Structure 1
Amino acid sequence: MKTRFIISLFLLVFLSTQSFAQQKRTKIGVAGLTHGHVGWILKAKDRADLEIVGIAEPNRELAKRLTEQHGISMDLVFDTMEEMLEKTKPEALTAFGNIYDHLAVVKACAPRGIHVMVEKPLAVSLEHAQKMKKLAEKHNIHLITNYETTWYPSTFKAQEILQSGEVGAIRKVIVNDGHKGPKNIGVSKEFLDWLTDPVLNGGGAIIDFGCYGANLITWLQDGKKPISVTAVTQQLQPENNPKVDDEATIILAYDDSQGIIQASWNWPIGRKDMEIFGRTGSIHADNPSTVRVKNGEGYSGYDEETLKLEKQNTPFEDPFTLFLAVINGDLVLDKFALPSLENNMIVVEILSAAVESAKTGKTVYLKDR
């Protein structure tokens, strides 16, 4: 089932059930406040379709600072996730701590039937990811992964154009994600402490930004795994990132195409963009709302069309609308949709192979393709 059909199907269901959804507030728990993206859920506290019933965060100073900033009572904050789950009984949970703890979150939630959405990537290692998948399947919970690029209108327009055949069969995808580096852009100390820790984050830029490209390319390839993964990493800011890489390039080889993931904590200008090259043209998703399409003419000539996009009120532009739609049965994700467990298991496999390749200097060939 293709994504465009899923979106259309969702809109039909969503419109017919909208009045009901507005009356029902799903009880949401929050595990951790150290992730820099936690503002997404804290800002959503007054939404008509969800209610934050509990927050698990042992750092009381951090909890006090963020709850005051967002107008949330400290009465909702618990020192442990177990206590929060037992006392507040959430229906679903969003994880905003370090990546290593994602497994612990699923271990606590899955036996209780609590659905989980984690921030990207799914896990620090394939071993962790496999344990999480087994728990989710055993206890029949939804386990999805949140990426900022999932909510870009340009992401879906690029895929739509590719699927239309306008630029021909896919030959190469280049995904660029990066900024000046966590310390240079001023992330919080709590976030920086684990983001630059090889255990808690699984790596540096190769994980933090490499996951975007692995996610997008897996989706564009309809869930096909690459034959091999080759990666090169560097540490260009040892004073800021002494334990992890901050520059990474990952090459994915497929039967008939390539994927190139450029992940950096060294770029002077932050960017999240994607280029798709087909046999007859190319698609350039420059930012969340702009897509350029080039159709080749002769050696270097081309016609170019620029599309300016607006949000279309679909669940794929908001992590919490999508999460609620999935857990409430209003939306069934495509098997390799961007937030799906199937896609993100492949993402972790790619990243694990990339880390191994960078350490050994050798190309890693994936098994069970």
Structure 2
Amino acid sequence: MNASLRFFSVILCLWASAASAKPLRLGIAGFTHDHVHQILSRPVQADIEIVGVAEPNKELAMRYLKRYKLSESLWYPTLEAMISATKPQAVCAFNSIFEHKQVVDICAPKGIHVMVEKPLAVNTAHAKAMIALAKKHNIQLLTNFETTWYSSHQQAYELIHAKNALGDIRKVVVHDGHKGPQEIGCSQEFLSWLTDPVMNGGGAIIDFGCYGANLMTWLMKGERPLTVTAVTQQIKPDVYPKVDDEATIILTYPKAQAIIQASWNWPFDRKDMEIYGQKGYVVCDRTQQMRVRLGDGVKRDAAEEKREIPTLSAPYNEPFAYLAAVIKGDIKPQKDLSSVEINQIVVEILEAARQSAKTGKPVKL
């Protein structure tokens, strides 16, 4: 290589390095999902720059911007106006599940990547349309679940699939929920659509059933269940007159079952999971805590062991660093907890669960 070629090669490398070091230009669509506080309260870091927020309720937008000492100039009344003025590379949706499709409808043709809060879509028709647009316009379409960033879940996956410590999965039991969104003090803006059967698709069955559907589909490496059976109840119809507040979903596979217990009636907040295999079990009872009991299926089993799991390393420890890494090409989200491959099936499971609860019969996928 002559001197001129070496010079230009160095310049290109420096340019590429500088480009990758620039923060991700992030827009926010909607302030009505209380999870928006995750991004608004995120400490200033070099990887993310909030360039604009789109929220038709100006009073709500200004209240939150003031609370987090962010400039009021970030606010725009519509997503189209925000995109036109600020040119974001990605948009995070913090509005109703029904509105996720509209965000993708607007962003995808402009080449803007999208991350939505769980679940991906309100129904399978929306999900298919969103995924088709994402593929057509070559954008990333990710779904954020709190439980994605639990180090205990990632450790359990490694025990099962990398180390084969449990043998084949036989049963998974997932518990998710709290006392109820009104009882724990969710904002009125959040409650207005979270308890609406159209805008959210259901109550606890969607709000917390999606976690178990996401985790089980991931543990099964994207395998669809054979059947989905669900039972829902309105234990508090005076509080939640339009949607269920209690749900149990059962998924069957050729040689495994999952029981997803989603509730707005737990006495305490919980997000925990039990995984039982041929040779042992893992209980992920907190973000960084696990209980493990292993055997070989023949000899006497070992005693249960409590394990403290270290936090995940960046960018796998939280959604926004992960989003930036995906867009930069550092991570390829293929069949991971945030991917479209997994989350399309999650929406299929939730839709089948609603149908099963309505008809009282199992639904085949």
Asked if Structure 1 and Structure 2 have the same fold, meaning a TM-score greater than 0.5 normalized by the shorter chain, the answer is: yes
Structure 1 residue 228 and structure 2 residue 222: aligned?
Answer: no
Rounded to whole Å, the distance in 1 between the matches of 2:116 and 2:150 is 18
Summarize deviations over 1:109-154 as a string: whole Å, max 9, x none: 0000000000000000000000000100010000000000000100
Equivalences for residues 38-57 of structure 1 within 5 A: 38-44=36-42, 46-57=44-55
Task: Encode CA deviations 1:209-249: one digit per residue, 9 max, x unaligned.
Answer: 00000000000001100000000000111111110001000
Once residues 298 and 290 of structure 1 are traced to their aligned partners in structure 2, the CA distance between those partners, rounded to angstroms, is: 28
> What residue in structure 1 maps to residue 171 of structure 2?
172
Q: Paired residue for 1:146, among 144, 147, 151?
A: 144
Q: Which amino acid aligns with 1:321?
A: A
Do the aligned partners of 2:228 and 2:251 also contact (CA within 8 Å) in 1? yes
How is 1:312-351 mapped onto 2 (pairs within 5 angstroms)? Answer: 312-333=312-333, 335-351=334-350
1:262-277 → structure 2 map (5 Å cutoff): 262-277=261-276
CA–CA separation in structure 2 for the residues paired with 1:336 and 1:243: 34
Alignment partners' CA distance in 2, 1:53 and 1:45: 15
In 1, distance between residues paired with 2:286 and 2:325? 26
The structure-2 alpha-carbon separation of the partners of 1:82 and 1:286, relative to structure 1 and needing over 3 Å to count, comes to: same
* Structure 1 Cα separation of the partners of residues 156 and 303 of structure 2: 17
Q: What are the equivalent positions in structure 2 for 1:11-22 lying under 5 Å apart?
A: none
- Are the equivalent residues in 2 in contact too, given 1:115–1:143 (CA < 8 A)? yes
CA distance in 1, matches of 2:77, 2:59: 12
Contact conserved, 1:247 with 1:264, CA < 8 A, in 2? yes
**Which one-letter code corresponds to 2:354 in the other structure?**
V
The one-letter code of the counterpart of 2:308 is K
CA distance in 2, matches of 1:123, 1:188: 22
Separation (CA, whole Å) in 2 of partners of 1:299 and 1:351? 40
Which of 48-57 and 19-28 deviates more?
19-28
- Structure 1: gaps (5+ residues): 1-18
CA distance in 2, matches of 1:298, 1:61: 65
Q: Distance between the aligned counterparts of 1:40 and 1:22, measured in 2? A: 24
Question: Following the alignment from structure 1 to structure 2, what is the Cα–Cα distance between the partners of residues 25 and 166?
Answer: 40
Q: SS of the counterpart of 1:332? A: coil
Asked whether the 8 Å contact 1:253–1:259 carries over to 2, the reply is yes
Residue of 115, 121, 128 corresponding to 2:113: 115
Report if aligned partners of 2:149, 2:312 keep a CA contact under 8 Å in 1: no
Say whether 1:29 aligns with 2:23. Answer: no
1:245-260 to 2 correspondences below 5 Å: 245-260=244-259
Per the TM alignment, residue 337 of structure 1 is displaced from its structure 2 partner at its CA by 0.5
Aligned residues: 349
Given that residues 33 and 62 in structure 1 are in contact (C-alpha distance below 8 angstroms), is that contact kept between their aligned partners in structure 2? yes
> What's the CA shift for 1:316?
2.1
In 1, the alpha carbon distance for the partners of 2:51 and 2:179 equals 36
1:99 touches 1:200 (CA, 8 Å); kept in 2? Answer: yes
Contact 1:231–1:355, Cα closer than 8 Å, also in 2: yes
Q: Deviations over 1:290-335 (max 9, x none)?
A: 01101359999751111101214232211011101111111112x3
Q: Secondary structure at the match of 1:29?
A: strand
Work out whether residues 205 and 263 of structure 1, in 8 Å CA contact, stay in contact via their aligned partners in 2.
yes
Judge conservation of contact 2:140–2:327 (CA < 8 Å) in 1.
yes
Identify which of 158, 166, 171 aligns with 1:160.
158
Equivalent pair of 2:115/2:144 in contact (CA under 8 Å): yes
Find the residue that maps to 2:34 and give its secondary structure: coil
1:8 alignment partner in structure 2: none
Among 107, 115, 133, the residue aligned to 1:135: 133
Q: Deviations over 1:331-368 (max 9, x none)?
A: 112x31100011000000000000000001110000xx
Asked if the contact 1:22–1:49 (Cα under 8 Å) also holds between the matched residues in 2, the reply is: no
Aligned residue for 2:330, secondary structure, equals coil
Deviation of the 1:44 alpha carbon: 2.8
Distance 1:300 1:231 in 2: 37
The residue that corresponds to 1:68 in the other structure is: 66
Structure 1 or 2, whichever has the larger Rg, is 2
Deviation at 1:47, TM superposition (A): 1.8
Runs of 4+ in 1 over 4 A off after TM superposition: 19-22, 296-302
Which residue number corresponds to residue 12 of structure 2? none
Q: Flag structure 2 segments of 5+ consecutive residues without an equivalent.
A: 1-16
Are 2:293 and 2:301, in contact at CA under 8 Å, matched by a contact in 1? no
